Homo-oligomer: A and B are copies of this chain.
Amino acid sequence: MRFLVSGHLEYTVAFPSTLILNIHAQRNSGQTILDEKFEVTPYVKFEEFVLENASSRFVRLETGKKKALTIDYHATVECTHEVISASKLDFTPVAEMDRKAIPYLFPSRYCQSDRLGRLAWDLFGKIPNPYEKVIAIVDWIHANVEYLRGSTNSETSAYDTVTQRTGVCRDFAHLGISLCRALNIPSRYFSGYAYHLQPPDFHACFESYIGGRWLVFDATRLAPLNGLVRIGTGRDAADAAVASCFGRVELVSMQVDCQLAPDQKFTPLERKQLGRKGISLEAHSNVTPTN
């Protein structure tokens, strides 16, 4: 599936500052960047880098004495996904888990899985299959947390959301991650562009490691899972902020877009189409795609 994604961010700058942006589509086994363009107007020096433990692409830029900056990013991204039947999604005991998944078992800033342990076991502990567990978690969040713009802020964590029961996509993701980790299922934050998301914006959901694969889940049900273009992968939103500002910079406007490339056809895969099948956005040579 080929998507045209774009982000347009306008900043005013109070004094010379540094910005670290994370709006580039990732290059990874599940998505290929066919073309892309990143522009800062007026031009300032910037540098792209990738952190070792993930493929998230960051841009670090110095505002210098500019009073305002506009960031434009456009890319054409070819995305693949695999639909995997639940029967192949056995629990991977910690003893056999890919080492790279292990850090995603531990609590993080917004995902205090250590404090949600008993709740997670009470609600979902008896479900034997790990995939069914995560599906139950995602459905429970969807049923019990209301998507309410403005109800949370940058300090809100899963420990709050589980009681407050409102939030936006990042809060839904944090709660899902936390409940999964509490049940020893490695889980990580996913930020990206999302086709069909209304209103258009950056989106967040999460991935859980089951049967040797990272499967993607979205408790908000606001976008089809096969319409996601990955930007960030991390422990939680602290790792995948759209922008981290060092100095004093203010976002004055933002437009985000995700369109299907002209010649493409799209059949949405959401919770209800998938049923008991999982979807992975990473390629995996050892697993035969189904569907």
The residue on B at minimum CB distance from A162 is B163
Q: Is A164 positioned at the interface, with any CB of B under 8 Å from its CB?
A: yes
Contact between chains at B53 and A114 (CB < 8 Å):
no
Q: B residues within 8 A CB of A60?
A: 94-95
Q: B residues within 8 A CB of A146?
A: 118
| Complexed CA–CA distance, A122 and B166 (Å) | 11
Contact between chains at A62 and B95 (CB < 8 Å):
yes
Q: Is A142 positioned at the interface, with any CB of B under 8 Å from its CB?
A: no
Given contacts A18-B94, A93-B18, A109-B108, A99 and B165 within 8 Å (CB-CB): no
Q: Is A105 positioned at the interface, with any CB of B under 8 Å from its CB?
A: yes
The residue on B at minimum CB distance from A118 is B165
Contact between chains at B103 and A244 (CB < 8 Å):
no
User: Which of B18, B103, B162, B241 contacts A51, CB < 8 Å?
Assistant: B103
Q: Is A116 positioned at the interface, with any CB of B under 8 Å from its CB?
A: yes
A94 CB, min distance to chain B CBs, angstroms:
4
Contact between chains at A95 and B163 (CB < 8 Å):
no
| Complexed CA–CA distance, A94 and B61 (Å) | 10
| Complexed CA–CA distance, A119 and B160 (Å) | 12
User: Which of B18, B106, B163 contacts A239, CB < 8 Å?
Assistant: B106
The residue on B at minimum CB distance from A148 is B118
User: Which of B18, B95, B109, B115 contacts A112, CB < 8 Å?
Assistant: B109
Sample of 12 further A-B pairs with CB below 8 A, known A51-B100, A122-B144: A18-B93, A49-B99, A51-B102, A51-B103, A52-B100, A106-B244, A112-B155, A118-B146, A118-B166, A119-B165, A162-B163, A184-B246
